[in-house]
Structure formats: C-alpha cells, structure tokens
Amino acid sequence: MSHDPNCLFCKIASGQIPCQKVYEDEELLAFKDIRPAAPVHLLIIPKTHIVNLTEVDAAHEALLGRMLALAPQLARENGADNGFRVVINTGPDGGQEVYHLHLHVMGGPRPWKHG
C-alpha cells in the first residue's frame, strides 16, 4: 500500500491525525469534512496514496467502484435522506486542495453553498 509521509490524508488514514470517522475498512476511510459545504459533507478516501483521478487506471476500477457504492449508504446514515451529490476535484483547475484522491459526499436540507 502506497503512503506519502507528507500527505494530510495519508496521515489521517494512518491515525497520525484524528478525524470524525464515519466508516473504515481495510481499503477505505470516510470522515466528516472539517470545512463542510453542506449539512452532510463527508470525504471517502482510499488508504493507499493516489494523487488524483489522473493517476488511476483499470487496476483501480474495483476501488473506485467501492468508493461510489459506499457514498449512498453513508449519505443516508448521516442524514442526507432527500438526496446528495458526489464530487471528485482533480488538479488545480478542478479545485483540488489536498492531493490525495477523495470523494466528497454532500447533502442535507438546502439551501447550502456550492462546493
């Protein structure tokens, strides 16, 4: 499993930095965003370090599928009963701030700011 010792999300995944965890298994970790853009704002990350979607290939299909399949379950469990959206920011022009692949799950009662 790849790990970047300077990566914020790698440090969270390894337990060096605490988070408000909502899900964890051998491959994935999900936690509440510290700067939520919606009433429900979760991040799903792979525990292995992948910079962003530009680095994925066919070998990552199962991992990406698991991330997407987990999103509706966590959205419901955290109160986004009436809908949610998923976002993956990629690169500087895509709005990526932390260079470790992550899936935003955002929902809850509107109005909420766009993020």
CA-CA distances (angstroms) from residue 12 to 17, 53, 114?
5, 20, 25
H or E element in which residue 3 lies: none
Which one of 41, 100, 102, 104 is the catalytic residue? Answer: 102
- Catalytic residue list contains 102: yes
Q: Which phi-psi region, left, alpha or beta, contains residue 91 (left: φ > 0; alpha: ψ -120 to 50)?
A: left
The span from the CA of 64 to the CA of 46, in Å, is: 9
| Cis preceding linkage at 72, omega within 30 | no
Is 30 in contact with 74 (CB distance < 8 Å)? yes
Catalytic residue IDs: 102
